Amino acid sequence: MRHGDKLNNLGRKTAHRHALMSNMAIALITNKRIFTTLAKAKALRTYIEPIITKSKDDTTHSRRVVFADLRSKEAVTELFKNVAVKVADRKGGYTRIIKTGNRLGDAAEMAMIELVDFNEIYSNSKSTGAAEKAKTTRRSRGAKKATAKGDNSAEAKTEE
C-alpha cells in the first residue's frame, strides 16, 4: 500500500531513479533549461530545489553534500559559481515548469523546466533594454531621412 507516499517512482527502481534525477539535474544546471516529460519535470523540481538552496552557502561541507547528489565536478562548479550568485536573494522557487504539449510518438505530456533567473524573456531588465534600443533606432532612421531630404533641397538650390 502507498498510504502517504508522495514520491513519484516514475516506473523505476530506486537506483535507476536516483541516477535519472542526478543526470537531469546536471543537465539543468549546465544548460539552464531542459525539455522532458511533465512527470519527470515535477520530480526533478523536488530533487533540485534543495540542492540549489544548499549551494547558496559556499562551504566545503555544502560542496561535498551537493557533490554526493550530482557526482559531477563541472556541474558543482557551475552551480556554486554562477547559479548560486543569481539566486542568492531568492527564498525558493528556483525552477519554472512550462507545459509544451504532447509528444508525437506516445502522446506523453511534455514540459520545459528551466532556472527562473536565467530566462531572458521574462526578466524586466532585458525587455526594457530592447524597447529603448528600438526607440533609438527609429530616431536615427528619421534623422537620416530628414538630412537626406535637406541635402537634396540644398543641392537643388545651388543648382538654380
Chain segment 84-106, per-residue pLDDT in tens: 999 999 999 999 999 999 999 99
> Alpha-carbon distance 102 to 63, whole Å?
37
Rg of the chain (C-alpha set): 25
pLDDT tens track for 37-87 = 999 999 999 999 999 999 999 999 999 999 999 999 999 999 999 999 999
DSSP conformational letter for 2:
-
C-alpha cell at 57: 552557502
Give percent of the chain above pLDDT 90: 73
Q: For the whole model, what pTM was predicted?
A: 0.76
- What SS3 class is residue 33? strand
With contact defined as beta carbons under 8 Å apart, do 71 and 154 qualify? no
